[in-house]
Amino acid sequence: MRDFGRRDFIKMGTGLALSSALVLPAALARKAHAAAATPEYLTMVGGGQGGAWYLGAAAIAELSKKVWPGVATTVTPGGGISNLKGVGAKKIEVGFAFAMDVTAAYKGMLKFEGKPVKNLRALMSTNGAYLSTVAKPDIKSYADLAGKSAAPGRAGMTGLASFERIVNQMGVAKDVKIVNTGYGEMSALFQDNVVQSATVIGSIPHPVVDEILSVTEGHLLPVDDAVADALGKAFNYEKVTIPAGT
């Protein structure tokens, strides 16, 4: 079997329907581009277990074994922001992240203010992702989460950062109790009323949202137009409409 360079690896992976982007350290990009270079190991970091990123990381890990038969691979859960920090610190080899966070990390903005991550290279760009917050029936807007508990993801996840931006814009951030948890625990916490909302980023319909709504009542929260416009201007979000019945 011939050695593959980085371009071959990209061509084999572009058909995967995941989320926004894959990044890797600059040093690994240079090594992979060399015809005779074969990495000894690759740590693939996706998102929360059960989400598209985690499944995508597992799929790419299997693909890499076909490209480099001798490579040892590890797949672990992660988050868009923490993945960028891990790649930049050379603790992981490949991580999923959102395009806006990649830009922020490289330029040293937002969550990376004063600490730019220059050791990044894009491996591929994939499909877009949707922010979805499912809430109890009596909660009609993000403002109604004041005095409630919410599960928008763990620290280092872009879902948490996005949720915080919304409730900050709504002026209720200090009144919402954040429960730090991953995707795997959200359904049980919502069903037991430990939290009254859960936030995910990914495909629609999202498997976590599907699981929640299969066992208890709830609905997706709308983002006010003014808030969506402000976030789009400040953080490069795109305002979209999730189809009814999704």
Domain boundaries, the chain: 6-125, 130-235
As its CATH architecture, domain 6-125 has 3-Layer(aba) Sandwich (3.40)
Query: Could you tell me the pTM of the whole model?
Result: 0.70
Amino acid at 167: V
Q: Count of CB atoms within 10 A of residue 59's CB? A: 16
Res 28: pLDDT: 45
Res 4: pLDDT: 34
Res 10: pLDDT: 28
Residues 6+ away with beta carbon under 8 Å from 79: 47, 48, 153, 154, 155, 156, 157, 158, 159, 160
Res 12: pLDDT: 29
Res 141: pLDDT: 95
**C-alpha dihedral, 85 to 111 to 237 to 76, nearest 10°:** 30
Q: Is the dihedral of CA 127, 131, 136, 140 positive or negative?
A: negative
Res 218: pLDDT: 96
Res 19: pLDDT: 33
Task: Please tell me if the domain spanning 6-125 has the same topology as the one spanning 130-235.
Answer: yes
Instruction: Walk along the chain (246 residues) in steps of 10 and give the mean pLDDT of each run.
Output: 34 27 55 56 84 84 87 90 90 87 87 90 78 95 97 89 93 97 93 97 86 95 91 83 77
Res 21: pLDDT: 62
Cα 243 from Cα 211, distance rounded (Å) = 18
Res 79: pLDDT: 87
Res 203: pLDDT: 80
As beta bridge partners, residue 150 has 178, 197
Q: Count of CB atoms within 10 A of residue 204's CB? A: 15
236: left (phi over 0), alpha (psi -120 to 50) or beta: left
Res 86: pLDDT: 92
Identify the CATH assignment for 130-235 out of 3.40.50.970, 3.40.190.10, 3.40.630.30, 3.40.80.10: 3.40.190.10
